[in-house]
Amino acid sequence: MPNPSTSPTLGVGMVGYAFMGAAHSQGWRSVGRAFDLPLSPVMAAVCGRDRAKATAAADKLGWAATETDWRALIARDDVQLVDICSPGDSHAEIAIAALEAGKHVLCEKPLANTVAEAEAMVAAAEAARERGQLAMVGFNYRRVPALALARKLVADGRIGALRHVRAVYLQDWGADPELKLVWRLRKELAGSGALGDLGAHVVDLTQHLTGELITGVSAHTETFVKERELPDGSGFGQVTVDDAALFSGRLTSGALASFEVSRFATGRKNALRVELNGSRGSLAFDLERLNELEFYDNDQPASEGGFRRILVTEPDHPFLEGWWPPGHGLGYEHTFAHQARDLVQAIADGTQPRPSFADGLQVQRVLAAIEESAEKNAVHTPVPAAE
Ligand SMILES: NC(=O)c1ccc[n+]([C@@H]2O[C@H](COP(=O)([O-])OP(=O)(O)OC[C@H]3O[C@@H](n4cnc5c(N)ncnc54)[C@H](O)[C@@H]3O)[C@@H](O)[C@H]2O)c1
């Protein structure tokens, strides 16, 4: 087993230290201890705009140094990988600068706020790859073991020909009437609302689990509360993003998919649910029971039929080799260690980690088609194919 203290290192510099910053830090702190890695990640520096807050975050989260300008972070000799955990308006500029400076990049989802930005990021990633630098998007739910198992069962043909995908991602923090006009409610910072925040995940998961692309969509979006108090209490401002989105889509094979994402689903805190129905069976997943995958095997006689619960904690289940004995359960934070593991391994191997920036661009094209359809009162809108 490689000794983390003697294997070659990979210096990580992270931008943003709040929600995703804390989650990614957890991943970077644990990954080298849980998994045998060819490179040892070193948490070299974290960047935040406020020196005192960034220093406190560095101490709490385990970063060795602090920067207040992401350009200085990128320029550091001890940083080989830039991990972007800031809002969407900053992704393109930071990622492109980091790639051009010869750094690997991990960028949180959604990849960008617009298709044009995402295209520029893909161009930068492709040029960087020629020089040996790699880029990946942080769709962490791909690395929930039960969902990784679901993808394998689909690829192995266990549910046969795909007919339906049914995906919802529901939260309720938007229902708080006191909620201020935070960055997530402003288009110029977040790109879109529930759509880019939650919809990006279910779009990516659908394409990832099925191995198919969403080729066209019909959509409704709504902003239920149109004005909120400004964070500094100086007045009120317009909410410029959607609060919820409802959309349906067609997949490459002709399968049909339906989606619902909302910040107003009262009582639903982080309810990500996906069901796939095929000619030979079905799979169902609920993030509130993330160690479990439900499987209906239509090859069984009807007298013995029914969904059965697979407890995805066996050593030969995806990602489980690094963790606990069967039945001891993983949580949300492990997905960030899994993401870090696969990225570090890809960097060591010189192979393209997935989801790539091109995968992120594909999701962005679906999101743009959803917005276009919603503007036209749900007219079916094709998703442009990748060149
Ligand atoms: N993978 C997931 O499940 C998931 C979950 C939540 C958020 N996200 C994504 O992660 C990103 C960040 O979201 P969050 O929830 O962590 O937001 P957050 O508001 O909790 O944190 C944002 C951080 O970025 C910092 N920041 C903003 N602009 C900056 C700049 N120019 N330079 C340096 N730091 C800057 C802020 O100070 C803060 O530390 C977004 O793209 C979001 O969509 C992903």
Q: What is the pLDDT of residues 20-39, one digit of tens each?
A: 999 999 999 999 999 999 99
Which one of 15, 17, 19 would you pick to mutate in the ligand 1 pocket, going by the greatest count of ligand atoms within 8 A of its CB? Answer: 19
Question: What residues line ligand 1, using a CB cutoff of 6 Å?
Answer: 15-21, 47-49, 70, 85-88, 90, 108-109, 138, 140, 197
**Mean pLDDT, rounded, for 182-189:** 98
9-140 adopts what CATH topology?
Rossmann fold (3.40.50)
Mean pLDDT of the chain: 97
Sheet (strand 308-311) strand order = 308-311, 292-297, 281-286, 271-278, 162-170, 256-262, 244-251, 214-222, 381-382
Condensed to tens digits (0 to 9), the pLDDT of residues 324-357 reads 999 999 999 999 999 999 999 999 999 999 999 9
- DSSP code of residue 198: I
Which one of 14, 15, 17, 20 would you pick to mutate in the ligand 1 pocket, going by the greatest count of ligand atoms within 8 A of its CB? Answer: 20
Exposed, middle or buried: residue 364 (CB in 10 Å: 0-12, 13-18, 19+)?
buried
Residue 168 pLDDT > 50: yes
Domain boundary assignment for the chain: 9-140, 143-356+361-381
How many angstroms is it from 235 CA to the middle of ligand 1?
24
- The tally of CA atoms less than 13 A away on the side-chain side of residue 237 is 16
Residue 1 pLDDT > 50: no
How many angstroms is it from 121 CA to the middle of ligand 1?
18
Task: Find out if CATH 3.30.360.10 is the number for domain 143-356+361-381.
Answer: yes
Place of tokens 């492709």: 126
Of all residues in the chain, the percent with pLDDT exceeding 70 is 98
Which one of 74, 82, 108 would you pick to mutate in the ligand 1 pocket, going by the greatest count of ligand atoms within 8 A of its CB? Answer: 108
Measured in whole angstroms, the distance separating CA 36 from the mean position of its chain's CA atoms is 24
How many angstroms is it from 187 CA to the middle of ligand 1?
15
**Mean pLDDT, rounded, for 373-382:** 98
The answer to whether the CB of 283 falls within 8 A of the CB of 295 is yes
How many angstroms is it from 181 CA to the middle of ligand 1?
16
Residue 2 pLDDT > 70: no
